[in-house]
Structure 1
């Protein structure tokens, strides 16, 4: 991995710039014109000198994906001016991250969720002054989890399984961080983010 400032600089050059013309195309699943659109925020900030990533654990009372580890985010609403606006609004509503405190670094490729029919755009943001006071929307968020990128990049916590649904086999990424299992769309997004930071990735 790299020093914190180097990581942020690397992401600025490697992420897709945010904009209205962002192609909503999952590189593995192809175009999904019937999918519901959503956006999530990958919030990076320094904690105890380490660049870390903010996750949430979804409330167990939710009907979909209850109790799972995710990034703050949700469905696009008509009032959202862009997918970036969706990610920032949802992060504010779910955990109290102030949108004006987030420097948007760019976007990762969209991820299509086969079961729930969402096309999710991951927005990567940096909070130079930290997250401030987090206020959780308890109806949706059970807790927040802050994980150093260095710990998430440890190959000993990662594994990949190959699942077949219908006639298509897909790679499913798992990260066992402390007592938490990060997988599904969140695992795939995290895998993509960490891949950008690998020294062999150009």
Structure 2
């Protein structure tokens, strides 16, 4: 982070992401595999692209999310899954993504083991939402998305287990659940 302001440069992010080992996490319990792309757009002040899921979807309707979904048997890797899903949902060409790496998988409430893939996109990359899956797209400043102070923890009980979930607001969007958990973990990963 730049000491004169509260921004995170792209160079700082890349360096810290690549030099820091991922934080240890609880091993994922779910067996069905999925992947999401954390698309970081390389503006002068980098942003992360988020979507709001269509209200007509069966699961997680209307929630803020990363592009992503379940692995297909044709996918050669979870990176391929994330890139395929990002192309299907918001028309990001796989060839325009510079994959930096991945974070440890997290368990979703819908029974998937989800692997977050971190990728960089050029500032001029165009997006087009698949209206069947995506109601809206927006960019959140990377420094805010990864600021641990932006998140409020909340203790909940699910299936007789105490869990800590995070939520945050950006403009009119509430970021919570697995999306907030992934951003919070990425924030932990890059902060010293």
**TM-score, normalising length from structure 2?**
0.89
**Residue of structure 1 equivalent to 2:164:** 171
Q: Of residues 22, 39, 44 in structure 1, which corresponds to 2:40?
A: 44
Contact 1:157 1:177 survives alignment (8 Å) = no
CA distance in 2, matches of 1:15, 1:121: 16
Q: Of residues 11, 25, 46 in structure 1, which corresponds to 2:17?
A: 11
Compared CA separation, residues 155 and 105, structure 1 to 2 (3 A) = closer
**Residue of structure 1 equivalent to 2:113:** 119
Residue 96 (structure 1) aligned with residue 91 (structure 2): yes
**Residue of structure 2 equivalent to 1:141:** 134
Once the two structures are superposed, residues 135-180 of structure 1 have per-residue CA deviations (whole angstroms, 9 ceiling, x without a partner) of 2110000111100112224556420001112332111011111111
| Secondary structure, aligned partner of 1:151 | helix
Residue 183 (structure 1) aligned with residue 189 (structure 2): no
Residue 73 (structure 1) aligned with residue 95 (structure 2): no
Unaligned runs of 5+ in 1: 17-25
Contact 1:15 1:108 survives alignment (8 Å) = no
**Residue of structure 2 equivalent to 1:151:** 144
CA distance in 2, matches of 1:79, 1:178: 38
CA distance in 2, matches of 1:179, 1:188: 19
CA distance in 2, matches of 1:150, 1:99: 25
Deviation of the 1:131 alpha carbon: 5.4
CA distance in 2, matches of 1:155, 1:103: 25
Unaligned runs of 5+ in 2: 2-7
Contact 1:93 1:137 survives alignment (8 Å) = yes
CA distance in 2, matches of 1:153, 1:133: 23
**TM-score, normalising length from structure 1?**
0.85
Compared CA separation, residues 195 and 142, structure 1 to 2 (3 A) = same
